[in-house]
Amino acid sequence: MSRRGRLEIEYCPRCRWLLRAGWLAQELLSTFENELAEVALVPGAEAGVFEVRLDGETLFSRSRAGRFPEAAELKRLVRDRVAPGRDLGHVERGQADGI
């Protein structure tokens, strides 16, 4: 399986969102350690920024969504690009059960 490029989580340091960004980075790296080349935490210059990008493509933007991403939601978004068709276990079952 080939590795993809860089997954970035850009966060607002003034809002103290580093811990949230770090936790999501850990979740994504744990799930996709063989598919991702790296996960980077990027302190943003824009107030309130929280964006997740894969190879420059924005997967999630807090400003567009009006909320933070759920870990399961990000895992599905990343999976669809780096490992289509891969079963995410309980993440998938939770979606099907409406959880």
pLDDT in tens, 44-73: 999 999 999 999 999 999 999 999 999 999
> What pLDDT score was predicted for residue 5?
82
Flag whether pLDDT at 97 surpasses 70: no
Task: Spell out where the chain has E strands.
Answer: 4-11, 36-43, 50-54, 57-61
pLDDT bucket at 3, cuts 50 / 70 / 90 = low
When the candidates are 3.50.30.60, 3.40.30.10, 3.30.450.20, 3.40.50.300, the CATH number that belongs to 4-96 is 3.40.30.10
Flag whether pLDDT at 93 surpasses 50: yes
Distance between first and last Cα of the chain: 31
> What pLDDT score was predicted for residue 96?
47
Q: How distant is the alpha carbon of residue 71 from its chain centre?
A: 7
